[in-house]
């Protein structure tokens, strides 16, 4: 029985799949940013409310009409590099998206127990990398707010790799610029499609974040061990 089937059986029978590793098994830790380390409420509010509000004012639209139009526009490039490319959206929408990001950066917040977990990783001597689809300009806005850069050996954006994390090619290209052992690597992300892509490449230890936004209910994965916070991985 493969691990995915085992996790699904536990989920469907009312159990919850737990991480199946010990920290001596792990050498390298890859961590997503939005919805994994940082509260996804900021991004949800920005794209679903703030951008439509500004877009509506500029184009003399009512807010509901602008929001409906933009949500459909976003979905047209979902799971691609354009999805998180601030320059692409600035050009397509006629707005300075990076500037708008900064205007509400006070909403950027770290999820519970993340700082403690990163300190725990340092104490254990793990190599920790931020691996994000976020555009470099968005990454800069957020790191200026939360000051977490020194917790990582390196910050890696999908723009640098050339494809989004949802694409299998991402993991091949990442391996070329950052050699790591797939058997001793742990990767945590809030998006199952990204975890599927990493699993397909052979990364052995995968963790799903069940509550990426503080304003939305937790949803546990049927395929991967899910955690509500990183406190659950401090063992």
Distances (CA, A) of 107 to 129, 213, 225, 226: 24, 12, 29, 25
Beta bridge partners of 55: none
Burial of 96 (0-12, 13-18, 19+ CB in 10 A): middle
Active-site annotation holds for 32: no
Catalytic residue among 25, 85, 96, 190: 25
Q: Do the Cβ atoms of 38 and 143 come closer than 8 Å?
A: no
Q: Do the Cβ atoms of 33 and 142 come closer than 8 Å?
A: yes
Using alpha carbons, select from 122, 204, 200 the residue that is nearest to residue 167: 200
What are the DSSP calls for 62-124, one per residue? -HHHHHHHHHHHHHTTTTSGGGG-HHHHHHHHTS-HHHHHHHTGGG--BPTTHHHHHHHHHHH
Using alpha carbons, select from 164, 90, 177, 171 the residue that is nearest to residue 133: 164
Task: State the catalytic residues.
Answer: 25
């Amino acid at each position: 029985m493969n691990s995915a089937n085992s996790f699904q059986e536990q989920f469907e029978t009312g159990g919850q799949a737990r991480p199946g590793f010990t920290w001596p098994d792990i050498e390298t830790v890859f961590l997503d940013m939005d919805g994994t380390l940082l509260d996804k409420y900021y991004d949800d509010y920005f794209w679903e409310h703030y951008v439509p509000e500004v877009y509506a004012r500029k184009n003399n639209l009512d807010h509901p009409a602008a929001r409906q139009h933009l949500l459909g526009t976003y979905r047209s490039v979902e799971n691609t590099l354009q999805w998180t490319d601030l320059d692409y959206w600035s050009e397509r929408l006629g707005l300075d998206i990076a500037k708008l990001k900064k205007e509400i950066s006070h909403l950027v917040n770290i999820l519970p127990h993340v700082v403690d977990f990163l300190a725990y990783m340092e104490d254990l001597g793990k190599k920790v990398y931020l691996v994000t689809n976020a555009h470099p300009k968005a990454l800069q806005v957020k790191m200026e707010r939360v000051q977490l850069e020194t917790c990582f050996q390196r910050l890696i954006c999908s723009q640098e790799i050339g494809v989004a994390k949802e694409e299998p090619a991402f993991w091949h290209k990442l391996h070329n610029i950052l050699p790591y052992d797939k058997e001793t690597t742990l990767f945590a992300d809030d998006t199952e499609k990204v975890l599927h892509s990493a699993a397909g490449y052979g990364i052995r230890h995968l963790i799903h974040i069940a509550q990426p936004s503080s304003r939305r209910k937790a949803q546990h994965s049927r395929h991967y061990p899910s955690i509500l916070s990183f406190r659950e991985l401090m063992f």
